[in-house]
Amino acid sequence: MKRAGFTQRWLPILLLMPQLVIIAVFFYWPAAYGLRSSFFLQDPFGFSETFVGFGNYLTLMRSPSYLKSAGFTVIFSVLVTFLSLAIALILAVKADRVIRGAKTYRTLLMWVYAVAPPVAGVIGLIMFDQSWGPLMDFAALFGWDFVLGVNYFDTAFAMVVVSVWKQIPVNFIFFLSGLQSIPRSVREAALIDNRSASGRFWDVTFPLLAPTGFFLLITNITYSLFDTFGIIDTTVKGEPGNNPMTLVYKVYVDGFRGNDMGGSSAQSVILMVLVLLMTVFQFRLIERRIHYT
């Protein structure tokens, strides 16, 4: 069999060039520069620098505050991903059954999607405000003396709530369209086989939703690791203090606030490697179990 292809060698290269140039300029070049500066300690203005080898990495590994924010990042990401997926799935399954007024109902659920993370953070700040936040009064009903920005746990709690709230609508839209693309015939057949609604959900609906779920899992992990930056930034109000911080926010705090170029470059490199590993893991192990129709 003859392979279809280009007759000239330069044409495919030419066609690829714009994309390659963009990747080179906006990813490879900065990444290479970041990798290089992670081995140096550099004057913020760039006048002088000292080669320190893996010194910046060793400093991080020995730093209790870095390890603490690594631990927080794991807990935070797991909670945000799990809660925003689970709540959105419940809402989608319920909304799928609604027939009358379905459109209004769905629109209301999707609304929050239009809110940008920093704005979500500001709304969270208002809700959790120390002296007049409505959620503070709600917490007080349970005898919970909630103080944002003072108590580590309370601040973390507020960050998780706001991040989950912000992410539910996106997941909801995808789950709902995933549910609606499941053929009627399959559902009806399942109805004959199994009388239990929850049994039908786990045996039929859930596996058929898996491709959507997998896509959402990846986007939600990315969201909880990276896009929550704006929420965390507004919640800590410019003073990191003893507030919880994710690793991405710590890169910003040390690099852009503290002007420690070498240390924050090392942190970015660590994050880059983590994301690489996670991507490989997700596609190698999880995607194999998912069947696309």
Instruction: CB nearer to other proteins: give 43 or 137.
Output: 43
Task: Yes or no: say if 122 and 206 are a contact pair by the CB < 8 Å rule.
Answer: no
For the bound state, the minimum distance from the C-beta of residue 197 to other proteins, rounded and expressed in Å, comes to 47
For other proteins, the binding residues (CB under 8 A) are 41-50, 52, 59, 65, 130-131, 147-152, 237-243, 253-254, 256-260, 262-263
Instruction: CB nearer to other proteins: give 128 or 174.
Output: 128
Instruction: CB nearer to other proteins: give 76 or 175.
Output: 76
Instruction: CB nearer to other proteins: give 79 or 148.
Output: 148
Instruction: CB nearer to other proteins: give 213 or 244.
Output: 244
Distance CA 267, CA 255 (A): 9
For the bound state, the minimum distance from the C-beta of residue 268 to other proteins, rounded and expressed in Å, comes to 16
Instruction: CB nearer to other proteins: give 174 or 252.
Output: 252
For the bound state, the minimum distance from the C-beta of residue 93 to other proteins, rounded and expressed in Å, comes to 40
**Cα diameter, the chain:** 76
For the bound state, the minimum distance from the C-beta of residue 41 to other proteins, rounded and expressed in Å, comes to 4
With residue 41 as reference, give the H or E element that holds it.
strand 40-42
For the bound state, the minimum distance from the C-beta of residue 69 to other proteins, rounded and expressed in Å, comes to 11
Instruction: CB nearer to other proteins: give 207 or 258.
Output: 258
**Which contacts (CB < 8 Å, 24+ apart) does range 238-247 have?**
239/149, 241/149, 242/152, 243/149, 243/152, 243/155, 244/69, 244/72, 244/76, 244/152, 244/155, 244/156, 244/159, 245/69, 245/72, 246/69, 246/72, 246/73, 246/76, 246/77, 247/69, 247/70, 247/73, 247/271
Question: Could you tell me which residues are beta bridge partners of residue 77?
Answer: none
Instruction: CB nearer to other proteins: give 84 or 243.
Output: 243
For the bound state, the minimum distance from the C-beta of residue 31 to other proteins, rounded and expressed in Å, comes to 18
Burial class of residue 87 (count of CB atoms within 10 Å of its CB; 0-12, 13-18, 19+): middle
For the bound state, the minimum distance from the C-beta of residue 55 to other proteins, rounded and expressed in Å, comes to 8
Distance CA 169, CA 109 (A): 6
φ, ψ of residue 51 to 5 degrees: the values are: -75, 130
Distance CA 44, CA 168 (A): 40
For the bound state, the minimum distance from the C-beta of residue 225 to other proteins, rounded and expressed in Å, comes to 22
Helices (H) and strands (E) in the chain, counts: 14, 2
